[in-house]
Amino acid sequence: MKALIIDDEDSVQSILTAFLNRYISEKGMQSAITSMSDPVQSLFELTTHGDQYQLILLDVRIPKLSGDEIYSSLEQVNPNILNRILFVTGYPEDLYDRFPDKPFNILQKPFRYNSFAEKLDEVLG
């Protein structure tokens, strides 16, 4: 499984990587995890190589370009990967306010491993 983590906080990236590695190992899968903190570079990565990722963990409140802005851009250029996005945020209302009719995959911070794994099961099917 190839996964992309987009978060501006190194500590959150580390936790997500550790949880993802544990999840993947429990499922007996192989993984390649990429972490990015720059949202502009992340958007470029998703518009050019987004189809390669089975899972995208995306923060909402990121300086320069927010997660919901990244999502909105992807709606235009690469909509087939939107269902692979799991928003990892302490502010889900930001998404609901901006997109009241969208059914998002959201993991609300703070979270424990069990809720993380349950959400991944939902997103990955």
**What Å distances lie between residue 38 and 7, 84, 110, 123, CA to CA?**
8, 20, 22, 24
Q: Tens of pLDDT along 39-77? A: 999 999 999 999 999 999 999 999 999 999 999 999 999
Q: Phi, psi (5° rounding) for residue 32?
A: -135, 115
pTM here?
0.95
- For the chain, how long is the longest CA-to-CA vector? 38
Q: Would the pLDDT of 103 be above 90?
A: no
Range 1-124: architecture per CATH? 3-Layer(aba) Sandwich (3.40)
What 8-state DSSP symbol labels residue 27?
Answer: T
Percent of the chain at pLDDT > 90 equals 94
Please give the mean pLDDT across all residues of the chain: 95
Q: Would the pLDDT of 34 be above 90?
A: yes
- The pLDDT, as a whole number, for residue 64 is 93
- What number is the average pLDDT over the span 106-117? 96
